[in-house]
């Protein structure tokens, strides 16, 4: 059965009313989760809270997926496509600095250092929004044509060293299978986007993040006699210089931005010794798959050949943190009217890409996906503290639009043949 226009209109109105009626509940959940943040792969209490909620709604619930993930499956009364909605649930080792009544006072030891724990990226809001969406859709499953998979994902910020985690692990454990997901949607709250606004970009939206390590080998000698050795510090400097020419001279910057940053150089022990070796670590950010391939290839060639030209040797290794958060073009066009319907057309803004990374990108490599940004800045403010900082703040009057956006695009997507 396909809904006629007026019937679809009625369904939408009902869902939006139901969303509005649970707004205070969603805000309450968000504050409880905010007060009790847990680090990546340690989201035990958060997961228990989510699982209890989904079970109370009568959903089929899977726990301990990808360590601490929770999956809820809601089958509509009518058969149809399978849509996945994803929320990340982890917090960060940041000590919260504000006067909110629900401020976190949680502390823990992270990599040997005592630290506060804080939802300093806003994943508490994502969790509460998706719990709200589940509640509304479960209450209206007689109107639902198809299946909704709710993915509450741990460790988006990256698992602790030596552990697997995040979207990669969930995919490995089959989260997009059985039932097979046709499309996936995700959102990120943003501290610098006004409440009521949705921002999006087709194509490359957030960057592929690589970490790289360069090892340069020379030959140790006295600082007064460089001709007797091979100076790895000088070679490292030439390599850093070479990398920047890949961005400025070889990358088609009219297509997308790209960044290479060396963040750390280690070499030597004292002023009058030219050391044996040098090490550099850094990051590459790309928004286009072809540019990424070019940059990785040219960095590898430059590392090896520049070192060789100066009498040393060098190697580079890349470690992939995220892929390109790439909004499928057809899907973006398809969901845009849904977002405009809930936010108002002038509140849905096309934005530039960012060079931050997001592990939602791994799902988008498997199935078509769409990722958008939701306003969390108090109306009237013009400035906000960035994500991952102690003063980071989200105005939870912005959450209702997140619930409505997910509801609208879910129903519209499932009702589109
Ligand atoms: Zn973050
Ligand atoms: Zn985040």
What ligand has the least distance to the C-alpha of 387?
Answer: 1
**How far apart are alpha carbons 155 and 161 in whole angstroms?**
12
Centre of ligand 2 to C-alpha 331, Å, is 22
What residues does 96 pair with on adjacent strands?
A: none
Q: In sequence order, which residues have a C-beta less than 8 Å from that of residue 148 and are 6 or more positions away?
A: 73, 74, 76, 82, 83, 84, 85, 134, 137, 410, 414
**pLDDT (tens digit, 9 = 90+) per residue, 205-220?**
999 999 999 999 999 9
Q: Are 185 and 202 in contact (CB under 8 A)?
A: no
Centre of ligand 1 to C-alpha 303, Å, is 31
* Nearest-5° Cα angle at 210, 207 to 211: 140
Centre of ligand 2 to C-alpha 165, Å, is 15
What ligand has the least distance to the C-alpha of 88?
Answer: 2
Average pLDDT over residues 12-25: 96
Residue 356, SS3?
Answer: coil
Neighbours of ion ligand 2 (CB under 5 A): 121
Q: Are 326 and 203 in contact (CB under 8 A)?
A: yes
Whether 2 has a pLDDT exceeding 70, the answer reads no
| Nearest by Cα to 34 from 399, 374, 405 | 399
**How far apart are alpha carbons 15 and 26 in whole angstroms?**
15
| Average pLDDT across the chain, whole number | 96
Residue 9, pLDDT score: 80
**pLDDT (tens digit, 9 = 90+) per residue, 60-84?**
999 999 999 999 999 999 999 999 9
Question: In sequence order, what DSSP letters do the residues of 130-146 get, joined into one string?
Answer: HHHHHHHHHHTGGG-EE
Residue 6, pLDDT score: 67
Average pLDDT over residues 328-350: 97
Residue 172: band (very low, low, confident or very high) from pLDDT cuts 50, 70, 90: very high
Average pLDDT over residues 311-317: 98
**pLDDT (tens digit, 9 = 90+) per residue, 361-371?**
999 999 999 99
| pTM of the entire predicted model | 0.93
Whether 1 has a pLDDT exceeding 70, the answer reads no
Centre of ligand 1 to C-alpha 387, Å, is 6
Instruction: Say if strands 60-65 and 113-116 run parallel, antiparallel, or are unpaired.
Output: unpaired
**pLDDT (tens digit, 9 = 90+) per residue, 87-107?**
999 999 999 999 999 999 999
- Percentage with pLDDT > 90 across the chain: 96
Average pLDDT over residues 124-142: 97
Residue 38, pLDDT score: 98
Q: In sequence order, which residues have a C-beta less than 8 Å from that of residue 21 and are 6 or more positions away?
A: none
Token pair, residue 306, equals 């520049």
Residue 397, pLDDT score: 98
Centre of ligand 2 to C-alpha 16, Å, is 26
Centre of ligand 1 to C-alpha 34, Å, is 14
Helix (H) or strand (E) holding 266: strand 258-267
Residue at token pair 């060079």: 355
**pLDDT (tens digit, 9 = 90+) per residue, 240-269?**
999 999 999 999 999 999 999 999 999 999
Centre of ligand 1 to C-alpha 408, Å, is 26
Centre of ligand 2 to C-alpha 71, Å, is 19
| Catalytic residue IDs | 90, 156
């Amino acid at each position: 059965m396909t809904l006629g226009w007026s019937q679809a209109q009625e369904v939408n109105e009902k869902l939006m009313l139901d969303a509005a009626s649970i707004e205070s509940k969603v805000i309450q959940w968000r504050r409880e989760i905010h007060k009790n943040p847990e680090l990546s792969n340690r989201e035990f209490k958060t997961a228990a809270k989510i699982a209890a909620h989904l079970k109370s709604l009568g959903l089929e619930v899977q726990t301990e997926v990808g360590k601490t993930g929770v999956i809820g499956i809601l089958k509509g009364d009518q058969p149809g496509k399978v849509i996945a909605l994803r929320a990340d649930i982890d917090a960060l080792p940041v000590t919260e600095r504000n006067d909110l009544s629900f401020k976190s006072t949680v502390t823990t030891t992270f990599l040997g250092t005592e630290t506060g724990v804080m939802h300093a990226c806003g994943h508490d809001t994502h969790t509460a929004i998706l719990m709200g969406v589940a509640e509304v859709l479960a209450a209206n499953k007689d109107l639902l044509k198809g299946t909704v998979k709710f993915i509450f994902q741990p460790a988006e910020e990256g698992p602790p060293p030596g552990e697997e985690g995040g979207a990669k692990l969930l995919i490995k454990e089959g989260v997009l299978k059985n039932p097979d997901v046709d499309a996936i949607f995700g959102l990120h709250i943003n501290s610098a986007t006004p409440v009521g606004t949705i921002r999006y970009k087709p194509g490359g939206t957030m960057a592929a993040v690589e970490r790289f390590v360069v090892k340069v080998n020379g030959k140790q000698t006295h600082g007064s006699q460089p001709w007797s050795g091979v100076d790895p510090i000088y070679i490292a400097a030439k390599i850093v210089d070479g990398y920047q020419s890949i961005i400025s001279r070889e990358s088609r910057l009219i297509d997308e931005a790209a960044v290479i940053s060396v963040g750390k150089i280690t070499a030597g022990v004292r002023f009058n010794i030219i050391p044996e070796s040098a090490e550099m670590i850094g990051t590459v950010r790309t928004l286009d798959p072809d540019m990424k391939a070019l940059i990785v290839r040219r960095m590898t060639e430059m590392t090896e050949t520049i070192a060789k030209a100066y009498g040393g040797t060098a190697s580079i290794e890349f470690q992939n943190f995220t892929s390109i958060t790439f909004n499928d073009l057809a899907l973006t066009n398809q969901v845009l009217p849904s977002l405009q319907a809930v936010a108002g057309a002038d509140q849905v803004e096309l934005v530039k890409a960012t060079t931050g990374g997001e592990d939602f990108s791994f799902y988008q490599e498997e199935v078509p996906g769409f990722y958008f940004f939701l306003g969390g800045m108090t109306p009237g403010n013009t400035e906000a503290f960035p994500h991952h900082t102690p003063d980071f703040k989200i105005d939870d009057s912005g959450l209702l639009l997140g619930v409505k956006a997910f509801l609208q695009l879910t129903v519209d997507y499932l009702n589109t043949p």
